[in-house]
Structure 1
Amino acid sequence: MELRHLRSFTAVAEELNFRRAAERLHMAQPALSAQIKALENHLGVSLFERTTRSVKTTHTGRVFLDEARAVLAAAGQAEQRAKKAKQGLVGTLRLGVIAPNANAWLAGILRGFRHRFPGVQLSLFDLTTPEQIERLRAGELDAGLLRPPVGFPELEAKLVAESAQALALPAGHRLAKKRTLRWTDFHNEELVLGHPRMQHGFYDAFLAACERAGAKPTVAQYTNDIQTKLWLISAGFGIAPTVATLAEVHRPGLVFRALPPGLPPVQTMLVWRRSDDSPILTHFRACFDGV
């Protein structure tokens, strides 16, 4: 049984006339009659009561008509979705994001994408850079917003944002009262940092700048979770260099101050698999053109 058999049956059931049904389907009447007969033989039932003057659906035919219409409607919908999927208008984009990038800049990018492609579902995953790279390589993410370096030839990367570094510290900390910070101010200060294997350059740059100035801070706590990190700082466990965009959201007991000059900006890369030719991914990448 094929869709053409269902279309032929539905046309006859709605017209109750083989000639009109054949005209509607743009086919010869004998060919239509043959299709209906083949369908009845396949099902092992009579779908129509035929006389020389009229055609009526049987009880079985009326029940089958409801099902045939549903199948044809579903097939039509599937065809339309397949065409839209080819154009990248429907589907899912699995996007990895590191927590500091969940800011107003990214919100604007995602709003613009959602406005242009409302049929695409965005699935966001809060993951560290190593976790994103692992899932990208495994095909479990379509794209990731992460820190460099990437370092795998099967992955393509594009620089999409740079942010200054800032110092996060408890509101009552002595350095919170200073207008201008110097590298020597960090001598013997306790730091809250990410685990060494999860660090991506900017912690090292901060520590190197301190060392050049003769300052020797100590690491008091390690954590990879950004919310835990900010909570520890606000609770007085230490201070930390971080991305300045985190200051966009007010948190009780936590303040941000500009760091002394000399640090490189924190880079955000958009990363995807070179072999991925998904039209949805192409549309998403285009959102970052010119940024």
Structure 2
Amino acid sequence: MRLDFFDLNLFLNIMDSGSFTKGAERSHISLQAASERIKKLEQYFQVSLFTRHAGGVKLTFAGQVFAEHAQAILQQGQHLLRAMSPFSEGLNSNICLWCNSSAQSEYLPLLLPKYLVNNPNIQIDLKEAETNDIVTALDNGTAKLGLISSFFPAPQLQTLEFSDDPLVLICPLQHDLSRIQSLKLADCLNYPFVGLMHYHSLQQSIETQAKLLHCDIQYRLRLPNFAAIAQVVANGVGIAIMPKRAAQRLAQLYAFQQIELRGDWANRKLLLAAKNFDELSTAYQHFSQFLLSNDAQKALH
């Protein structure tokens, strides 16, 4: 037997009116059809749902339990209809993802096309910002979802690991450091650097580490992005620190040497962050699940 919403509504109409005749009228079917449908319900569950008397019908105890579940099922059906209506009407859901420059340039371009193709009613707005600013925006409610660097603590937020995002040092091919496989930050601070602009969170983290070593970094040039830095490093201007993934991509365009950086601060991770993941809308939760899914992680490796 197929249990459908119509039978549940019919049952409730009979219950509310106290009469098969009135319940059938409310459901816009004949009395005979209503009686047959209720009889099939009773036969399927092997119970009596109503007791008949001269004034109409009353619920049995089994009927009272059935009524509670019928009301809950119909309410869930209404929730389902409301949830599906935006898709059937072609309406869009907008998601704003705040992310640092590493996530925006090196990770998301690999993932977002597949998600958008499979979810044509979703629109994604990427907002690039420094990790400190993203943490603040998530904390005060300006942002709902963000990708942040693990270097900056955010105990007030919920975070889930998205991907490794280690840093490397790059130098010209003929540089003194070019034959070294790995080094610590202290091993290279006496060489001139090419860096990002002062406001960049990656630059702030590098300079914080240098200050812990009681050193000041000597900058020959500051540039706005990793591509510009890679180009001038390849031309022999200085050395630089950037995400490993960006260095691997840019090594196809510019000739420079990559050197592993040792230390916890350099082996950072990208974290997916929210104030409370359980309180996000369905669209944001679905997108978050995609970013953390096995398929997405395979695409990044």
Q: TM-score, normalised by structure 2?
A: 0.54
Q: Which shows bigger deviation, 218-227 or 157-166?
A: 218-227
Q: Secondary structure at the match of 1:159?
A: strand
Q: Which residue of 2 aligns with 1:114?
A: 116
- Whether the 8 Å CA contact 1:158–1:271 is kept in 2: the answer is yes
- Paired with 2:216 and 2:102, the residues of 1 have a C-alpha distance of 26
1:248 aligns with 2:248: yes
Trace 1:257-272 onto structure 2 (pairs within 5 A). 257-259=258-260, 261-264=262-265, 265-272=267-274
Shift of 1:284: 1.3
1:147 aligns with 2:149: yes
Trace 1:9-20 onto structure 2 (pairs within 5 A). none
| Structure 2: 5+ residue stretches without partners | 1-27, 29-80
- Whether the 8 Å CA contact 1:81–1:90 is kept in 2: the answer is no
RMSD of aligned residue pairs (Cα, Å): 4.0
- Paired with 2:140 and 2:232, the residues of 1 have a C-alpha distance of 34
Shift of 1:112: 4.0
| Structure 1: 5+ residue stretches without partners | 1-25, 27-78
- Whether the 8 Å CA contact 1:193–1:223 is kept in 2: the answer is yes
Q: Which residue of 1 aligns with 2:161?
A: 159
- Whether the 8 Å CA contact 1:100–1:226 is kept in 2: the answer is no
Deviations 1:173-216 (A, max 9, x none): 4434x25354575252012345676546852686489x59xx98
Deviations 1:15-60 (A, max 9, x none): xxxxxxxxxxx7xxxxxxxxxxxxxxxxxxxxxxxxxxxxxxxxxx
Which residue, 113, 130, 133 being the options, matches 2:132? 130
Q: TM-score, normalised by structure 1?
A: 0.55
- Whether the 8 Å CA contact 1:146–1:269 is kept in 2: the answer is yes
Q: Secondary structure at the match of 1:133?
A: helix
Q: Which shows bigger deviation, 274-283 or 248-257?
A: 248-257
1:169 aligns with 2:171: yes
Q: Which residue of 1 aligns with 2:275?
A: 273
Shift of 1:277: 2.4
- Whether the 8 Å CA contact 1:93–1:121 is kept in 2: the answer is yes
Q: Which residue of 2 aligns with 1:55?
A: none
Aligned residues: percent identity?
15
Shift of 1:136: 3.1
- Whether the 8 Å CA contact 1:162–1:267 is kept in 2: the answer is yes
